[in-house]
Structure 1
Amino acid sequence: MKILIDAGAFDEEPLLKLKNDFSNIEFVFEKNPDRVIEEIEDADVLICFKTSDEALNNAKKLKWIQAASAGVDFWPVDKLNDKNIILTTARGMHKSHISEYALCMMIMAARNIQDYIVEKQNRKITPGIKKQDEISGKKLGILGLGSIGQELARRASFLGMQVYGVKRTAQQTEYVEKVFDSNDMDWIFKNCDYIVNLLPSTKDTLNMIDKKYFDMVKESCTMINIGRGTTVNEEDLYVALKNKQLKLYISDVFAEEPLSEASPLWDLDNIIITPHIAGPNANYSEKFYEVIKPNIEAFIKGEELTNKYDLNKGY
């Protein structure tokens, strides 16, 4: 068996342990994109962040691709399905550091740190510029209770937050006081002090968060999007922010990335923009190794793989 690792975007060292873990498997680490296209011809497995049509067209034996990302909405999933190539994601490995991003932003918003950053840039100190608040006792709504959402719920509840959530199927989830399905999200938007969007990009979630929901939120609400930018209608978002319908919007993702310099969102003072940094991590390869190893073991044994992509669900 040959496993090709497109190592261009990886810290290679942690993944080299796989050679000792599976001594009977040929592992090929390749950073050159042209060589990846050549090596994939007789590979059984591909491990990568993304692949190309050219590489897939040259794959003669490929049975399984292990993606290094949780989201694969940019992948040629229809083509993989036609070629009977299994696709698995890295869902779950991001739950610690992405939930920390959300908590960091909620605490920052509660303490109005964004205003003090502006004060510092203007070499100015205004005592009592904004009241200092806390997240303890506040209502948190989580849109998407996957592995990241569940971890955020756990951590937020320990910090004293009342957690509510939205899931494809409204089933009770640990650390969440009540779970709603995607057709019954109104309560979240009407009542929560913080709303964290973790929704994946699918045909059902496209522009799901629109004027209807922005018109429901409290003026004191802070929203954070670390799911996918395509889940939010950005024209409606701009109007809502311009009209001060919510306190603050923090987004790490947008419909098109990087966000265009021409976007009017840049001109607003109640939005914080970060360049898709919630997912990357200094220990990414070490965490990814923990995903890869058990899946290779399962593949060898002919067992079900973890995080298998479902074409019908879109994740």
Structure 2
Amino acid sequence: MTRPFVFITRKISDNVVSMLEQHFLVEMWCEEEEVIPRELLMEKAKQADALLTMLTDKIDEELLTQSPYLKVVANLAVGYDNIDLEAAKKNNVTVTNTPDVLTDTTADLTFSLLTATARRIPEAIDYIKDDQWKSWSPYMLAGSDIHHKTIGIVGLGNIGQAVAKRATGFDMEILYYNRSRKQDIESELGVKYVSFEDLLNRSDFVVCMTPLSKETEGMFNREVFKQMKDTAIFINSSRGGVVNEEDLFKALESGEIKAAGLDVFQNEPIGADHPLLTLDQVVALPHIGSSSLETRTEMMELAARNIKQVLNGGKALTPVHI
């Protein structure tokens, strides 16, 4: 009897591959930096019982309807906006993600990005590397304080809550806006629920942690940036699609807001010619929110366990429900 076929769309840990190979036929696109070509992904999906995918892989209706053996798509991320969930359900394909395991790591990165942007750390590094440090002056590379300031978190899911916990260590006032109020954890985290408009008006740091959906796509636009303080710093480590990047550029260029720290973009990867990179007050990272060795390995292991469960007739450990 032929063993089920698992296709992995990007190079992952050899140990995780070996774990899958004990039970299944496994093939992997071995490039670390290049997205698998669409034609090859379609070809492999037609043969596969399971796909282990990345956010960069478009798992749409076209692919799903042409993959007769496919039973599970294990996405190596918390998000799954690269997958057509309705089409997956219609074709009886289970979709899984990797929640929880990357919560603290992404929160660490988010607060690091906030700190780097506020204190102008990348500029300071370049200042020395470019041999500009010739003397000392009181306002040389002066940034913004973080302690005792107000942070507004848009989207208080698990990662947003973890960011709030880190903010308490800086004695910050913590505001949040969420599609539903979370009164049960407000006293525990020391957070205060406010309207979106109130959060924008009051926050020194606006941190976007909301998932990408039809409702949130492009929600941070010129009108929203105009409601923020001109000293405010915008941080986004959720999804690039929630921000209108042209509007963000204009808001930064005109001084409507002070700075931005970005780990995600509308179309990834971005090139060195991206307009936002021309601004000194922008700190840009290549979508590394969960990128620690420990966390990425744990994500891979969870994706593999999800595949094993489903292909062996069991229930997925972390299924995505519509």
* TM score, norm. by length of structure 1: 0.81
Change (3 A) 1:139 1:300: farther
Contact 2:65-2:91 at 8 Å conserved across structures: no
Q: CA deviation at 1:106?
A: 2.2
Render the CA deviation track for 1:25-46: whole Å, top value 9, x for unaligned. Answer: x323211576994586362x43
Q: CA deviation at 1:111?
A: 2.9
Q: CA deviation at 1:123?
A: 1.0
Change (3 A) 1:70 1:161: same
The aligned residue for residue 112 of structure 1 is: 120
Contact 2:114-2:261 at 8 Å conserved across structures: no
Aligned-partner SS, 1:195: strand
The number of equivalent residue pairs is: 301
Deviates more, 1:28-37 or 1:71-80: 28-37
Q: Is 1:41 aligned with 2:55?
A: no
The aligned residue for residue 12 of structure 1 is: 14
Q: Which amino acid aligns with 1:6?
A: I
The aligned residue for residue 259 of structure 1 is: 270
Aligned-partner SS, 2:297: helix
Among 116, 120, 127, which residue is 2:137 paired with?
127
Aligned-partner SS, 1:29: strand
Change (3 A) 1:62 1:152: same
CA distance in structure 2 between the partners assigned to 1:164 and 1:291 by the alignment: 34
CA distance in structure 2 between the partners assigned to 1:35 and 1:98 by the alignment: 28
Q: Which amino acid aligns with 2:76?
A: A
Report the RMSD for the aligned CA atoms in angstroms: 3.1
The aligned residue for residue 178 of structure 1 is: 192
CA distance in structure 2 between the partners assigned to 1:279 and 1:218 by the alignment: 30
The aligned residue for residue 200 of structure 1 is: 211
* TM score, norm. by length of structure 2: 0.80
Matches within 5 A, 1:98-109: 98-109=106-117
Aligned-partner SS, 1:141: strand
Render the CA deviation track for 1:248-286: whole Å, top value 9, x for unaligned. Answer: 111122212233555432322221222222233323123
Structure 1, gaps ≥5 residues long: 21-25, 311-315
Among 76, 82, 95, which residue is 1:87 paired with?
95
Q: CA deviation at 1:209?
A: 0.8
Q: Which has the higher contact order (CA 8 A, sep 6+)?
A: 2
The aligned residue for residue 32 of structure 2 is: none
Contact 1:195-1:222 at 8 Å conserved across structures: yes
Contact 1:111-1:133 at 8 Å conserved across structures: yes
Render the CA deviation track for 1:27-85: whole Å, top value 9, x for unaligned. Answer: 23211576994586362x43332466686455333332221122222224343232121
Contact 2:76-2:299 at 8 Å conserved across structures: no
Contact 1:37-1:58 at 8 Å conserved across structures: no
CA distance in structure 2 between the partners assigned to 1:38 and 1:108 by the alignment: 42
The aligned residue for residue 308 of structure 1 is: 320
Q: CA deviation at 1:290?
A: 4.1
Q: Which amino acid aligns with 2:235?
A: I
